């Protein structure tokens, strides 16, 4: 006996066994890791539980998160820390960079 596939997380359509994407709304049917293989890396492709926003094996965002099907409670959870520096300059210029909000140095 084969296992019945889970319904689509977005529209609840029951897919065929071999479908990878929903035929009604286009949502991915498996919450796989988004880490694609490339010339310098193997990629992950781990299949996660349906409510996972990040891969339990490598920490990359899942397909469900990238498609907006699940969300995380943290604003900057999917962004690397070095990308957040530009946001910190805007949010807390006095504390971190010694500037006033307009960007000119204090004098």
Taking only the tens place, the pLDDT of each residue in 44-93 is 989 999 999 999 999 999 999 999 999 887 766 655 555 555 555 555 55
Are 78 and 64 within 8 A, CB to CB? no
Are 97 and 89 within 8 A, CB to CB? yes
Section 30-57 average pLDDT:
92
Q: Quick one: 30 and 69 in the same domain?
A: yes
Q: Quick one: 36 and 88 in the same domain?
A: no
Phi, psi of 54 (to 5 degrees): -130, 150
Q: How many domains does the chain have?
A: 2
Domain that holds residue 40: 1-73
Q: Quick one: 44 and 55 in the same domain?
A: yes
Instruction: Answer yes or no: pTM beyond 0.75.
Output: no
Are 72 and 65 within 8 A, CB to CB? yes
Q: Quick one: 99 and 53 in the same domain?
A: no
Q: Quick one: 103 and 66 in the same domain?
A: no
């Amino acid at each position: 006996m084969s296992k019945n596939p889970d319904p689509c997380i977005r529209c609840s359509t029951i897919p065929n066994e071999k479908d990878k994407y929903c035929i009604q709304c286009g949502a991915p049917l498996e919450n796989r890791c988004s880490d694609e293989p490339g010339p310098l890396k193997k990629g992950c492709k781990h299949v996660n539980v349906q409510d996972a926003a990040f891969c339990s094996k490598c920490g990359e965002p899942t397909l469900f998160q990238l498609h907006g099907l699940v969300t995380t409670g943290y604003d900057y959870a999917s962004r690397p820390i070095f990308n957040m520096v530009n946001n910190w300059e805007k949010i807390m210029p006095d504390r971190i960079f010694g500037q006033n909000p307009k960007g000119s140095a204090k004098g």
